[in-house]
Chain A
Amino acid sequence: MRNFASVRAWCTRGLVALAALAAAAAAWAQEPIRVGSFLAVTGPASFLGDPEQKTLQMQIDKINADGGVLGRKLELVAYDSAGDAEKARTFVKRLIEQDKVDVIVGGSSTGETMAAIPLAEAAGIPFISLAGSVAIVEPVKKWVFKTPHTDRMACDKIFVDMKARGVSKAALISGSGGFDKSMRAECLKVAGNHGITIVADETYGAADTDMTAQLTKIKGSGAQAVMNPGFGQGPAIVTRNYRQVGLTQPLYQSHGVASKEYIKLSGEAAEGVRLPAAALLVSELLPANDPQKPVVTKYRADYEAKYKSDVSTFGGHAYDGLMIYVNAVKAAGSTDKAKVRDAIEATKGYVGTGGIVNMSPTDHLGLDLSAFRMLEIRNGTWTLVK
């Protein structure tokens, strides 16, 4: 009987607790939707994290000024991971356990994202990554999505362009960062599909200041074109050294350097360099009937007016991540994590800065090769390759 009494006592207490919860829930209806983020705002990948954070803040302010989502305001909880995977892990733990965020939109680099995935999966929280590697969404993970085009798509785009120019032997020179290594591996994997042989495969360190030795080796390899997966100052030094050692073959850079900074750092040496990039960079070059034109033009104007600095595709990835989440919340009619996850997975025809997104249970990225435009640098600025 004592057992029965204690069960009853528990039930009563449970009911009281439930009532309290219900009361709290009513109050919560006015609570903001908490968008968690961890970005490399400082450190070597700051050129990714800085525009990403600025974009999230700008876009959230804008949405709040227009009345928020489902009558609730958005609140950004962002941490600076400095591009460090270990820090990223700690911050994601904090976002989930202490800040109790509704979604995580963040992870500037692949390393940070990979460190965060197990936590997001275990906690069952939608996680939209802003990092490049295909490994983030392949194999598909239930709670993990991403907005930037993958490095494999960049490789495909470049090889298609090389092939069109009659190249069958290409050389790779890549940095030693996570992005560089991942893209190098993807390119090596898919080169054969395009009938291209990689005749030289050189690397350089993240803080290296001279790549003439590697390029001299490439010069003797018989490569008809050279491709440089990497970001930061490395590709700019490669570009300058490339002209210095007298290489005249076409040079391809990756979407990792699709910012004006690369042109500024490389100077004249950047003339004729080709790279795949999102529509955002060339919004003014897009034909008027391009579906992405209104979106990218608006985002770009907003960003440049607010921060007085050039827009970059990386900020665009953050824009897409946030908007895909917001649209999913509207479609689901709640911030319930499981429902929102399903709604994100059902995203169809979202026109973003990175391309037109069609997600599915087997594709948590939803972009195809048309998301990339092949650009060539002419007279110190981008031009579209037809």
Chain B
Amino acid sequence: MGGAWLQFVAGGLTAGAIYALVALGFSIVYNASHAINFAQGEFVMAGGMSAVSLVGMGLPLWAAVPLAVAAAALVGLLVQRLALEPAQAGGRADVVTLIIITIGVSLFLRGAAQVLWDKGIHPLPSFSGSTPITVGGASIVPQSLWVLGGTALAVLVLAWFFNRTLYGKAMRAAAVNPLAAQLMGVSTRGVMRTSFALAGALGALGGVLTAPITFTAYDVGVMLGLKGFAAAMLGGLGSFGGAVAGGLLLGLLESFGAGVISSAYKDALAFVVILAVLFLMPGGLVGARRTERV
């Protein structure tokens, strides 16, 4: 039985790491604009599909992966520049308006992917083979380690960026009080663009790392976006630690739900736990208590 439990943990953490990366993207954009970017899942798709087509063109993986992440960062930047900035131009746009724009953007990106690529499901070669590694009765594909390691690295880089660099600190300042930050010389427009580019890159990283395990297609963003959003809410929107905790917890809940209780109710189980957590802790697990601005 011990082996089985370890297997559930391994499966849960791998799935959870993907949710965590998506949730981080939600949090970054939320911090900068207080809007939920519903195109976050599409960034995952953009990264995965770009990597697949780059590899298809004959590029080696080590070149295709960074290029795909960069391409998705560019997509994020363009989304902010072309879709959201015009709405924000006349003073602070309503958050609801921004959210609705991101829904439109997600539909557009999904449609564009269908035209640009196709409607098929595509695998990406594993980064380091697919021979399972056995750890104490559980077997893990090497790609899972890439997913977990990549997520950990992304979290460390983000922490360093937001806590140790001047620009990162400026972004945090703009998140806390945009007006004051602007008066101190921080370009909120630059902050918004950077946060979308970061969100795009993070999503793409998730898409690229997981494509060898879960495959990718033009519509993978829908469900991943939803799960990532749930993870972000569970952890506490806007908190990076919360996003990671929420993602991993959601993955583990699903895995144990399926393995121990019943696979038919695993999604229901995960969402019931989320509801319970939000009922008791409306700010999420790690979310700071916020005062409502009127």
Interface residues of A (CB under 8 A from B): 42-44, 46-47, 50, 202-207, 209-214, 216-217, 219-220, 232-233, 236-237, 240, 243-246, 261, 264-265, 267-269
Contact residues in B for A202 (Cβ distance below 8 Å): 258, 263
Contact residues in A for B224 (Cβ distance below 8 Å): 207
Given A210-B213, A243-B132, A245-B139, verify A42-B119 contact (CB < 8 Å).
yes
A265 to B120, CA, bound (A): 11
Tell me the minimal C-beta distance from A112 to chain B in angstroms.
17
* CB–CB B130/A246 < 8 A: no
Nearest first, the 6 A-B pairs at minimum CB distance are A207-B223, A213-B259, A209-B214, A212-B11, A213-B258, A46-B119
* CB–CB B139/A213 < 8 A: no
Given A46-B119, A233-B217, A237-B215, verify A203-B7 contact (CB < 8 Å).
no
* B8 within 8 A of partner (CB): yes
Q: Which one of A43, A206, A210, A217 lies within 8 Å of B15 (CB-CB)?
A: A210
* CB–CB A216/B132 < 8 A: no
A267 to B141, CA, bound (A): 14
* CB–CB B259/A217 < 8 A: yes
Interface contacts (Cβ under 8 Å), in number, total 98
Do most interface residues of chain B lie in helix, strand or loop, or is the interface mixed? Answer: helix
* CB–CB A50/B119 < 8 A: yes
Tell me the minimal C-beta distance from B242 to chain A in angstroms.
22
Q: How many residues on B have C-beta within 8 angstroms of the other chain's C-beta atoms?
A: 39
* B31 within 8 A of partner (CB): no
Interface residues of B (CB under 8 A from A): 3-4, 7-8, 10-12, 14-15, 18, 114, 119-121, 123, 130, 132, 139-141, 210, 213-215, 217, 219-220, 222-224, 254-256, 258-259, 263-264, 266-267
Q: Give the one of A47, A205, A244 with max B CB within 10 A.
A: A244
Tell me the minimal C-beta distance from B185 to chain A in angstroms.
44
A385 to B4, CA, bound (A): 34
* CB–CB B264/A213 < 8 A: no
* CB–CB A217/B215 < 8 A: no
* CB–CB B11/A210 < 8 A: yes
Contact residues in B for A50 (Cβ distance below 8 Å): 119
A72 to B35, CA, bound (A): 58
Tell me the minimal C-beta distance from B130 to chain A in angstroms.
7
Q: Which one of B121, B132, B213, B256 lies within 8 Å of A232 (CB-CB)?
A: B121
Q: Give the one of A213, A243, A261 with max B CB within 10 A.
A: A213
Q: Give the one of B7, B210, B256 with max A CB within 10 A.
A: B7
A49 to B287, CA, bound (A): 45
Contact residues in A for B4 (Cβ distance below 8 Å): 216-217, 219-220
A213 to B264, CA, bound (A): 12
Contact residues in A for B223 (Cβ distance below 8 Å): 206-207
* CB–CB B259/A265 < 8 A: no
Given A203-B264, A214-B263, A233-B215, verify A47-B120 contact (CB < 8 Å).
yes
A245 to B11, CA, bound (A): 11
Q: Give the one of B3, B121, B139, B222 with max A CB within 10 A.
A: B121
Q: Which one of B3, B15, B123, B141 lies within 8 Å of A209 (CB-CB)?
A: B15
Q: Give the one of B119, B141, B220, B267 with max A CB within 10 A.
A: B119
8 contacts between A and B (CB under 8 A): A42-B114, A209-B213, A210-B11, A210-B214, A213-B12, A216-B7, A265-B123, A268-B130
* CB–CB B215/A213 < 8 A: no
Tell me the minimal C-beta distance from B168 to chain A in angstroms.
31
The chain B residue with its CB closest to the CB of A215 is B7
A214 to B11, CA, bound (A): 10
* CB–CB B7/A212 < 8 A: yes
Given A210-B15, A212-B7, A212-B10, verify A205-B267 contact (CB < 8 Å).
yes
* CB–CB A267/B263 < 8 A: no
Contact residues in B for A46 (Cβ distance below 8 Å): 119
* CB–CB A214/B258 < 8 A: yes
A264 to B215, CA, bound (A): 11
A205 to B227, CA, bound (A): 13
Contact residues in B for A47 (Cβ distance below 8 Å): 119-121
The chain A residue with its CB closest to the CB of B265 is A203
The chain B residue with its CB closest to the CB of A264 is B123
